[in-house]
Structure 1
Amino acid sequence: MPLPLPSDYIRTKLVDRVRAVFNDTASGEKPVPPSDDALFAKDSPIRLVHADAVSMMIGGIRSLLLQMLHPHALQGVLDHSNFREDMHGRLRRTAKFIAVTTFGHRDEAEKVIERVNRIHAAVAGTLPDGTPYSAQNPRTLAWVHVAEATSFLDAYLQYVRPGMSLADQDEYFRQFAVIAKKLGAEPVPENKREADALMREFRTELRPSAEAGQVADLVLTQRPEGTPPGVQQMLGTAAVDMLPAYARSMLGLSSPGITAIPAKLAARTAGRTLRWAFRQG
């Protein structure tokens, strides 16, 4: 029996390390197996974007930072989440939702969407000024969705495929809209032009706050278990660099400027390495 090649050993170790970050391996949680009967076809834009681990982590951090600027989204996290105590668990559950709805069998995708809708039904309360909020509010859901979609795609464009056609970018938004609508979001952009317009429209609803800054600090400084030293700083710096200037200002974050260059180079190198490990090119 031939011995395994050193490159195969390295691939296996890298894949195992990444899967340990995104799955609760201690409890036996398994990665989501890609299905030929998923909501979206193999090699379609949403599956290509959501398959890249490094750009998704950068985009995920960026989207969380943006989401916390909306008072309703922020208060829901503060009142109904153990984010402070289990940030990694929350991020892992979000990643699992994206994986199942993008790559899993369509029946499993519908089940996790239904489960999230049930959870959202119990998330409600009031803002400090007495304004009621609800996780079922279509507009709040729309903000969470558009912050995610634009962040995931922008990171993919910057770190993986700068030459992605506008037609494929539009298709990405159209596909991701399928999930957002099942969650009750409204309005939902179905192309890049609509997404950019909705991001501009939401500017008037965003607010700086001490609490949003605290969540941002937690997201950027707490290293998830199993993440190698330095990786969290690299991902966080790359994510902050991609934030709009207004968002950095509201969160009390400085522009990384030229200090982002090493982090961006490291992110590109890490992305290429993981795509090699996962045999994605």
Structure 2
Amino acid sequence: MDDSEDVGLFGPGSVTWKVHKEPVLMVAGLRSLYLQALHPRAMAGVAQNSNYRTDAWGRLMRTSTYVATTLFGTTAEAEAAGRRIRARHARMRARDPVTGAEFRVDEPDLLRWVHVTEVESFVTTARRAGLALTDAEVDRYYTEQRRVAALIGLDPATVPGTAEEVERYYRDVRPELRMTREAAETALFLTVPPIPWKVSLPLRIGLTLGPPRWAYLGLAGTAVSLLPAWARRLYGGLGLPTTALSADVSVRALRLALRALPQHLLIGPIQIAGRERAARLTAAA
């Protein structure tokens, strides 16, 4: 098939495209990182192989490009991106923070944890922000996302494909989760990352504050509030219903604010190209 006629792994009729057209998912990406940090081995793999502290924004852009490519790129582009990330992961090793044993960062259990926390964060945030999704559509989303799991080397049959299976997975993995020093340091970094100096207002006391910093702190606070109650408790917070209600109000307000902005400022070139291919195919049908 000519790439100009290829809408990729999903396409305009998928729940995936319905969910990921939402700019509010920037909060979902941050929520998934807070969740991922609670897995000691997964966190060790990141901390021992990543330069996220010195190149936080570069890493964010690379991750965003990968996600956009798998969701909105052509099939060939998505598969190529998957091959690159599998090759990169295959070279990486880390040491268990408890036993000191060396392990591969592409172990299926670790890849599955990262995958599930990402996709669950995406669809949960979209729904809580006000995107109308039926229970059946949520299940379809999880099933569709098994295609992305395959790109990173997972057997799709071992990946939760419905909301019930995701809940069961979280129940099974929760005994392995805990607040470690690395998790705490990562959570602090996620909450107060370095802001590029060109968009900051340095104060005399040496702190970097200003509109970009306050805006980001608002996003980070919303992301933490959107975490499951059990995850908030691991971070030392309270799993109160009022916290969830406050998070829902905040993320809905953010979605409304983003929808009021010119959409071309919020949608990346990969998504635009995917939509344009789909529009051409629809027009030619």
Please give the range of the TM-score, normalised by the shorter of the 2 chains: 0.7 to 0.9
Q: Which residue of 2 aligns with 1:52?
A: 22
**Equivalent residue for 1:145, pick from 106, 112, 115:** 115
SS at match of 1:133: strand
Q: Which residue of 2 aligns with 1:104?
A: 73
Q: Which residue of 1 aligns with 2:101?
A: 131
Instruction: Spell out the pairing of 1:221-260 with structure 2 (5 A cutoff).
Output: 221-222=192-193, 224-225=195-196, 228-253=212-237, 257=243
**TM-superposed deviation, 1:124:** 1.0
**TM-superposed deviation, 1:251:** 2.6
Q: Which residue of 2 aligns with 1:64?
A: 33
Structure 2: gaps of 5 or more residues: 200-210, 268-285
**TM-superposed deviation, 1:180:** 0.5
Structure with the larger RCO, 1 or 2 (CA within 8 Å, 6+ apart): 2
Q: Deviations over 1:76-132 (max 9, x none)?
A: 111100011111221221111110000011101111100000110011121132233
Distance 1:201 1:234, change over 3 A: same
Q: Does 1:219 align with 2:206?
A: no
Q: Which residue of 1 aligns with 2:136?
A: 167
Q: Is the 8 A contact 2:229 2:238 kept in 1?
A: no
CA distance in structure 2 between the partners assigned to 1:77 and 1:221 by the alignment: 18
Structure 1: gaps of 5 or more residues: 1-32
SS at match of 1:53: coil
CA distance in structure 1 between the partners assigned to 2:248 and 2:130 by the alignment: 16
Q: Which residue of 1 aligns with 2:279?
A: none
CA distance in structure 2 between the partners assigned to 1:174 and 1:134 by the alignment: 27
Instruction: Give the aligned residue type for 2:135.
Output: L
**Equivalent residue for 1:89, pick from 55, 58, 62:** 58
**Equivalent residue for 2:171, pick from 174, 179, 200:** 200
Q: Which residue of 1 aligns with 2:260?
A: 273
Compute the RMSD of aligned alpha carbons.
2.7
TM-score (norm 1): 0.79
Instruction: Give the aligned residue type for 2:29.
Output: G
Q: Is the 8 A contact 1:34 1:103 kept in 2?
A: no
SS at match of 2:139: helix
Distance 1:36 1:240, change over 3 A: same
**TM-superposed deviation, 1:50:** 1.7
Q: Which residue of 2 aligns with 1:181?
A: 150
Distance 1:124 1:169, change over 3 A: same
Would you say how many aligned residue pairs link Structure 1 and Structure 2?
246
Q: Is the 8 A contact 1:53 1:274 kept in 2?
A: no
Q: Is the 8 A contact 1:223 1:232 kept in 2?
A: no
Instruction: Give the aligned residue type for 1:81.
Output: S
Q: Which residue of 1 aligns with 2:46?
A: 77
Percent identity (aligned): 33
Distance 1:171 1:200, change over 3 A: same
CA distance in structure 2 between the partners assigned to 1:213 and 1:57 by the alignment: 21
TM-score (norm 2): 0.78
CA distance in structure 1 between the partners assigned to 2:5 and 2:260 by the alignment: 25
CA distance in structure 2 between the partners assigned to 1:59 and 1:172 by the alignment: 15
CA distance in structure 1 between the partners assigned to 2:172 and 2:262 by the alignment: 36
Instruction: Give the aligned residue type for 1:135.
Output: V
CA distance in structure 1 between the partners assigned to 2:138 and 2:165 by the alignment: 12
